Homo-oligomer: A and B are copies of this chain.
Amino acid sequence: MNFELYSFWRTSATFRVRVALNLKGLQAVEHDVDLVAGQQRSADFLAINPMGAIPALIDKRPGQSPAPLTQSTAILEFLEEAYPAPALLPVDLHERARVRSLCAMLTADTHPLMPPRVKKYLTSVSGFDEAAWRAWQTHWLTTGLTAFEQRISTDRASADYCHGSQVGMADICLASVVMIARVFKLDLPAMPTVDAVMQRCDQLPAFARAAPHLQQGAPKL
């Protein structure tokens, strides 16, 4: 086993890493860090990742640094560089930039607005109740995914998947954000192109096996 992955069952960023490992045929021992119980601030976990954040990927291959690889987008790029096949990015530089740009619409423009620490601020400082929080989540998921839908539905570079006919990094990022709406049962407007891509992803074992409710620590359905 070449990798250890510190994760939490429903964390969107961990999901990205899990899918990328699966797509590349890599196996990782996964360790559950219960964010609800605050385990990310435990001495045990801080000894592994002093930043107290997941996902944290440990490279156990001989001769590699024990320092954790952190931040999902950096880990995806690392896996792509360390294990180029199957590729998650196209070869052409403009196409690579397009895929990374699609990823950033989700991992930078959308997802960072809704982690637990943002909920904590809005509920404890700004007086958000549960309905206001769900409206916030719904607003930013709708904003981000509607823009994404517009982009992939109007650009012929998108086909079966977000870029062309091969699954890749943008699909991973898309699924990781759609997952948030699923986990929290949020109603989003119709997005036919996004839905079609997601249906294809859902059928791939690499995505299906990464589903939140199948992971360690997930509540029984």
Q: Which A residues contact B (CB, under 8 angstroms)?
A: 50-51, 59, 64-65, 67, 69-75, 77-78, 81-82, 93-94, 96-98, 100-101, 103-105, 107-109, 111-113, 117-118, 121-122, 125-126, 128, 132, 135-136, 139, 143, 147, 150-151, 154-155
Q: Is the interface of A mostly helix, strand, loop or mixed?
A: helix
B94 touches A75 (CB 8 A): no
Given A71-B105, A104-B73, A112-B113, also A51-B97 (CB < 8 A): no
With A78-B93, A78-B97 given, can you name 20 additional A-B contacts, CB distance below 8 Å? A64-B94, A69-B101, A71-B101, A73-B104, A74-B98, A74-B100, A74-B103, A74-B104, A75-B101, A77-B96, A78-B94, A81-B93, A81-B96, A82-B93, A108-B108, A108-B112, A113-B118, A117-B143, A121-B139, A125-B135
Q: Return chain B residues, CB-CB under 8 Å to A97.
A: 69, 74-75, 77-78
CB A206 to nearest CB in B, in angstroms, measures 21
| Minimum CB distance partner of A57 in chain B | B97
CA distance A93 to B132 in the complex (A): 43
Given A50-B151, A107-B108, A151-B51, also A94-B65 (CB < 8 A): yes
Q: Return chain B residues, CB-CB under 8 Å to A50.
A: 150-151, 154
B108 touches A73 (CB 8 A): yes
12 interchain pairs, CB-CB under 8 A: A51-B147, A51-B150, A51-B151, A69-B94, A69-B97, A71-B105, A74-B97, A74-B98, A74-B100, A78-B93, A109-B112, A117-B143
